[in-house]
């Protein structure tokens, strides 16, 4: 009688589950681009480096993305998604307290600047790299900054600020300053006072 092959057991004695599908080429390209673009800058990273890191071919890249510029825009859309995830997570901890929502995000940001490899905001960095208004990467970055401004002004309004636009703009200036100064002076520089300065600005602006 013919014996059927038995599936090898896992080290813990359980049967293995269904084999996971390997990541698609487009996903590997996107992840590799995200890592390289953030660490080294978008302009500094060539297509050859991306495909080598992803373990794919150039035709695979161009089947998924029309150009490096479009890949850069995709990277920034992914980055923006992660930004809002963090911002909304901080807000969710204080659902009825807009002041605490802002300070929670600013506190978390100051802590992240001390993590290895921190290079500020990828969206801000893209604006510096690409001054051309119609560049796909810049358009994604600028759209995000406008949304952030609207969100901060709305939070300032909910706080009861005398001039919500002025407070929202002030908070955004602090945010952008933290992204840049932390890259130059590290977590022990001005960014360590980020939440405290924001709190003082809010308290001076609210009725």
Q: Report pLDDT digits (tens) over 114-149.
A: 999 999 999 999 999 999 999 999 999 999 999 999
Q: pLDDT at position 11, please?
A: 46
Nearest alpha carbon to residue 50 among 61, 39, 41, 59 = 61
Task: Give the number of C-alpha atoms closer than 13 A to the C-alpha of residue 23, restricted to the C-beta side.
Answer: 11
Can you identify the CATH homologous superfamily of domain 69-205?
Tetracycline Repressor, domain 2 (1.10.357.10)
Count of other CB atoms within 10 angstroms of residue 52 = 12
Give the H or E element holding residue 63.
Answer: helix 58-64
What CATH architecture does domain 23-65 belong to?
A: Orthogonal Bundle (1.10)
Q: What rounded mean pLDDT belongs to the chain?
A: 91
Task: Give the number of C-alpha atoms closer than 13 A to the C-alpha of residue 164, restricted to the C-beta side.
Answer: 14
For residue 167, give Cα distances in angstroms to 120, 124, 149: 23, 20, 10
Tokens 């890592």 belong to: 35
Q: pLDDT at position 118, please?
A: 95
Share of the chain above pLDDT 90, in %: 87
Could you tell me the pLDDT band of residue 15, with boundaries at 50, 70 and 90? low
Q: pLDDT at position 7, please?
A: 47
The sign one gets for the Cα dihedral 145, 149, 150, 151 is positive
Separation of alpha carbons 19 and 78, rounded Å: 27
Question: Token pair for residue 180?
Answer: 């840049």
Assess contact for 102 and 167: CB atoms under 8 A: no
Q: pLDDT at position 13, please?
A: 54
- The stretch 26-36 carries a mean pLDDT of 94
Assess contact for 198 and 102: CB atoms under 8 A: yes
- So where are the chain's domains? 23-65, 69-205
Separation of alpha carbons 171 and 177, rounded Å: 10
Q: pLDDT at position 24, please?
A: 86
Q: pLDDT at position 116, please?
A: 92
Nearest alpha carbon to residue 110 among 5, 185, 203, 18 = 185
Q: Give this prediction's pTM.
A: 0.85
By mean pLDDT, which of 4-13, 26-35, 85-94, 190-199 is the weakest? Answer: 4-13
Separation of alpha carbons 144 and 174, rounded Å: 16
């Amino acid at each position: 009688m013919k014996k059927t092959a038995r599936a090898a057991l896992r080290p813990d004695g359980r049967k293995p589950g269904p084999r996971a599908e390997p990541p698609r080429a487009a996903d590997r390209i996107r992840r590799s681009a995200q890592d390289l673009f953030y660490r080294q800058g978008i302009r500094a990273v060539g297509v050859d480096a991306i495909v080598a890191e992803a373990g794919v071919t150039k035709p695979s890249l161009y089947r998924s993305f029309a150009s490096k510029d479009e890949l850069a825009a995709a990277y920034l859309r992914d980055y923006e998604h992660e930004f809002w995830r963090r911002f909304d997570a901080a807000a969710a901890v204080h659902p009825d307290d807009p002041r605490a929502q802002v300070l929670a995000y600013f506190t978390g940001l100051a802590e992240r600047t001390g993590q290895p490899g921190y290079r500020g905001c990828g969206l801000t960095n893209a604006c510096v790299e690409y001054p051309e208004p119609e560049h796909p990467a810049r358009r994604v970055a600028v759209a995000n900054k406008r949304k952030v401004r609207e969100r901060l002004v709305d939070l300032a309004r909910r706080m009861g600020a005398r001039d919500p636009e002025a407070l929202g703009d002030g908070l955004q200036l602090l945010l952008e300053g933290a992204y840049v100064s932390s890259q130059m002076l590290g977590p022990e520089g001005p960014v360590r006072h980020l939440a405290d300065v924001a709190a003082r600005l809010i308290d001076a602006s609210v009725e």
